Structure 1
Amino acid sequence: MDTVHLINVFLPLYDSNQLFEIIIKNGSYELIRKQSSYLEMKNVIKLDGLSLSPPPTSLKTIDCQGSVLLPSFIDAHMHLDKACSLNKVANHSGTLEEAILNYRQQSPFFSVEEIEYRAIKTALNALSHGTAAIRTHVNFEVALGEDVVFRALEAVLRAREKLKPYIDIQIFPMFSWPDDSSKRKLEWIEEAINMGVDGIGGAPHLAVDPEKEIDFLFDLAEKHDKPIDLHADESDDPNVCTLDYIIQKTVEHQFQNRVVVGHLCSLAPMEHEKALLLIDRMAEAEIGAVTLPGANMYLQGRFDSGIVRRGVTRINEILQRGVTLAAASDNVNDPFHPFGKADLLQIGLLTAYAAHLGSNAGQKQVIKMITEEPAKLLHINNHGVQQGSKASFVILRAGSIEEIFTNLPSERYVFHKGRWIYHSKIVEDWGDSVLAFYWNSIQKQHELFEKRNVRYV
């Protein structure tokens, strides 16, 4: 692997007012050093002049021109098998119930090849935005019969294998206890696990007997030595609370730091002290959590009038009590969530709005919720910008945390698995020479002001 040398780069998660020089060798950070000044060097490649087509065989020093470098994004909760299916599956009421029903009815008409195409398309979109790892939940509905039940899993396994050199994908099928306790259906579940999945998923709050379902899922996880990631309490009803029993089973099975729960919508309308007690118990049991603000703000509160509940869990209380919390995409352009483009900066902005995380510290916390925090949930070690760690990052054409969320910069440079993976370049073309002059002047002034405002050691 070639050596990568970066200068004049911001690392706002570590020091908001300091430029850094970075050297990457053999795919790992060899040197991360604070600069004593804004470096002006000859024979460098300006970041805005970097080209990856054709792929560079050797790169000299890259002047990042005061751009921000962040650890690559990690999407801790997605549904690659359902993504981009909105054109085939409608949801007229906008409710979770109709989305589930309509998708189930359409599932027999999706081929493995179609699901694989949609999964690859969505994963590549995520990668282009800076996401280097995805945990995807995959439908596995035994009630649909053997001809259908394996299709989504087979498709996503194919997609994972094809994209393995470029992006990391973890697969968690959504299992449930067969209503008729059929031996054959239980064999399908065992077969699915042996196909090479990464963990056990499910949505026990939707089961007829949630506790029986949770028992079944924990027994599966223990038998196969797999972590658990469950949809939990995706409901406006504060009385829906499988979290209590999930915590209990986590402790009983000694699954601390091996359980993740997503959504937790019913925590929001729940009586305050009860909710805080549950969150404290989550922290003690070392259960991680994922908030899905896009999908939950869209799906929840559909039957409210006046003040409409938005379904987002208690983000601030969860953070304050030390629970590892990530923000993730959930569904992308499907009946559960018609919007989104697998861009975690977009999800981060929604999280900041929903949880009032607008201060510098708050926005920095949001960045951690799409980088370092989900890395803990996915057990990706040393995911950060630190000497000795594998270099996996995204450079954004922004000069600060605040500028990231103000502009959601489209121009991004993605580095993962020891090489440059993607670069999006913006071509600006004003139709009026005066406007073009003003715009170019503003850009130059911005760069000068940024240089002046930097503090150096």
Structure 2
Amino acid sequence: MDFVIRNARLPSAPEDPPVDIGIQGGKIAAIEASLPVDVPFHDAEENLVCAGLIETHIHLDKSRIIDRCEPEPGRNPNVVPRVAAVKSTFTEVDVYRRASQTLEGCLKYGTTRMRTHVELDAGVELRSFEALEKLRKDYAWAIDIELCVFPQEGLTNNPRADELLVETLKRGVRVIGAAPNYDPDHGGQIRRIFQLAREYDADIDMHLDSGNSADDMDIWLVCELAREYGMGGRVTVGHGCKYSTMPPADLARLAATLADAGVAVTVLPATDLFMMARDQDHSVRRGVADANTLVELGVNCSISSNNILNPFTPLGDGNLIRIANMQANVCQVSHSRRLRECFAMLTDRSARLMNLKDYGIAVGNPADVVVFDATTPEQAVAEVRAPLVAFKRGIRTVTRPRAELHAP
């Protein structure tokens, strides 16, 4: 044994007695009470220990550009044109610099796995992709990053985006996304993405159904194609703001369809709160899908950050626990078991969504271990508790001391 994390409470059963986690060769070698080994150790002091948080949906490539975009024009955020107008300023060096700042924030708040979405089109070509490929390799000491390529500004009307998607898939990318809201042919884009996913054996993670009513939802076609292509468990949709506008019976029917098709949902509360209901100037609807209710109806869900410091979300710091707390506040989640489920939507459920077979505190898995300043998952979410220390493959990557009061 090389190292031991002692006195750890596990998220699956924090009420049980603490255990020790033995690490050897970068992997978890043992989980039991009071491991009888004399090796270097970290005392978790009976705090909550997980395998790290998972950011399933973030845009590192366009984070931290709010200062170079035109100000928001009134109630119409006009976000895609505002971002498109500055893409010509993106260089590999620029994207890497901004993305690394955002990534380091995520690391400091306990994230150890990530799926970042990468825009491909004639405005940016492969500059963002190349920067994030380099970032992925350079930060492998602290985090596993997966790239999801997608066309933000349209596909059926944007042949260059199609060419770039194919090129990156040929280079080994194994997740492809979509943004049909910004395509004149929603169904055409969705069908093309499924065709490419089948051809290159890629998972799918789409931006879907942002809007202020349940009219004209694309999710029905996505579920139909997921069944037709046999891709259950490999398809995710992000946002789903329209689902928040559905009466309970209609939402239950949608959830049954999602569960049957094996389509997961990622809710992005920070962006959806900021972007939705711009048609209202009072009694503003929230536009955030109720992830807890979807989970209770059989749908796998994650909660994630999406954008940070850009026109889609001009706020944020990479703290996923804060995002889960926001989700709980917006959807009026208070029961302990439901708060615990919010934590699962940053951890175990996110791992399932991304088909991660080696995630979790289990013998044989990578020794990715994060100690939170909390004793239960629900406390971590309710009180926005920070991590105290993080390890990646058994090597310490983050130390965040507790704040201290100095009384006179």
TM tier, smaller = over 0.9
Correspondence for 1:372 among 330, 348, 358? 348
Are residues 187 and 398 of structure 1, via their aligned partners in 2, closer, same or farther at CA, if it must alter by over 3 Å? closer
Question: Structure 1, residues 208-235: CA drift from partner, whole Å, max 9, x if none?
Answer: 1111111111111111111110001011
Structure 1 residue aligned with 2:85: 105
Structure 2 residue aligned with 1:256: 232
Q: How does 1:49-448 map to 2 (within 5 A)?
A: 60-93=40-73, 97-142=77-122, 144=123, 148-175=124-151, 176-179=154-157, 182=159, 186-410=162-386, 412-426=388-402, 428=404, 430=406, 432-433=407-408
TM-score, normalising length from structure 1?
A: 0.83
Q: CA deviation at 1:285?
A: 0.8
Question: Structure 1, residues 175-201: CA drift from partner, whole Å, max 9, x if none?
Answer: 342416x5x664333223223323111
Contact kept in structure 2, 1:221 and 1:228, CA below 8 Å: yes
Question: Structure 1, residues 31-74: CA drift from partner, whole Å, max 9, x if none?
Answer: 22246xxx9x9x99xxxxxxxxxxxxxx6233322222122100
Are residues 170 and 150 of structure 1, via their aligned partners in 2, closer, same or farther at CA, if it must alter by over 3 Å? same
C-alpha distance in 2 between matches for 1:213 and 1:299: 23
Are residues 218 and 10 of structure 1, via their aligned partners in 2, closer, same or farther at CA, if it must alter by over 3 Å? same
Contact kept in structure 2, 1:94 and 1:336, CA below 8 Å: no
Matched-pair identity in %: 24
Structure 1 residue aligned with 2:20: 21
Q: CA deviation at 1:426?
A: 4.1
C-alpha distance in 2 between matches for 1:9 and 1:33: 10
TM-score, normalising length from structure 2?
A: 0.92
Question: Structure 1, residues 258-315: CA drift from partner, whole Å, max 9, x if none?
Answer: 1110111111113443332122111001111100011111111122244211111132
Q: CA deviation at 1:423?
A: 0.8
Which one-letter code corresponds to 2:92 in the other structure? V
C-alpha distance in 2 between matches for 1:395 and 1:85: 32
Contact kept in structure 2, 1:205 and 1:233, CA below 8 Å: yes
Are residues 153 and 297 of structure 1, via their aligned partners in 2, closer, same or farther at CA, if it must alter by over 3 Å? same
Question: Structure 1, residues 318-354: CA drift from partner, whole Å, max 9, x if none?
Answer: 1112211000010111111111111111111112212
C-alpha distance in 2 between matches for 1:73 and 1:412: 13
Contact kept in structure 1, 2:106 and 2:317, CA below 8 Å: yes
C-alpha distance in 2 between matches for 1:313 and 1:405: 18
SS at 1:87's partner residue? helix
Contact kept in structure 2, 1:411 and 1:426, CA below 8 Å: no
C-alpha distance in 1 between matches for 2:365 and 2:348: 13
C-alpha distance in 1 between matches for 2:30 and 2:76: 49
Are residues 382 and 356 of structure 1, via their aligned partners in 2, closer, same or farther at CA, if it must alter by over 3 Å? farther
C-alpha distance in 2 between matches for 1:236 and 1:62: 49
Structure 2 residue aligned with 1:453: none
C-alpha distance in 1 between matches for 2:298 and 2:387: 34
C-alpha distance in 1 between matches for 2:339 and 2:315: 23
Contact kept in structure 1, 2:115 and 2:148, CA below 8 Å: yes
Are residues 280 and 389 of structure 1, via their aligned partners in 2, closer, same or farther at CA, if it must alter by over 3 Å? same
C-alpha distance in 1 between matches for 2:304 and 2:289: 13
Q: Which moved more, 1:312-321 or 1:337-346?
A: 312-321
Structure 2 residue aligned with 1:440: none
Contact kept in structure 1, 2:76 and 2:278, CA below 8 Å: no
Q: Which runs of 5+ in 1 are unaligned?
A: 45-58, 434-457
Which one-letter code corresponds to 1:26 in the other structure? G
C-alpha distance in 1 between matches for 2:161 and 2:90: 21
SS at 2:82's partner residue? helix
Contact kept in structure 2, 1:205 and 1:240, CA below 8 Å: no
C-alpha distance in 1 between matches for 2:248 and 2:383: 36
Which one-letter code corresponds to 2:40 in the other structure? K
Contact kept in structure 2, 1:251 and 1:285, CA below 8 Å: yes
Q: CA deviation at 1:389?
A: 2.6
Are residues 76 and 91 of structure 1, via their aligned partners in 2, closer, same or farther at CA, if it must alter by over 3 Å? farther
Are residues 359 and 179 of structure 1, via their aligned partners in 2, closer, same or farther at CA, if it must alter by over 3 Å? same
SS at 1:213's partner residue? helix
Q: CA deviation at 1:400?
A: 3.2
C-alpha distance in 1 between matches for 2:216 and 2:65: 29
Q: Which runs of 5+ in 2 are unaligned?
A: none
SS at 2:245's partner residue? coil
SS at 2:67's partner residue? coil
C-alpha distance in 1 between matches for 2:348 and 2:129: 28
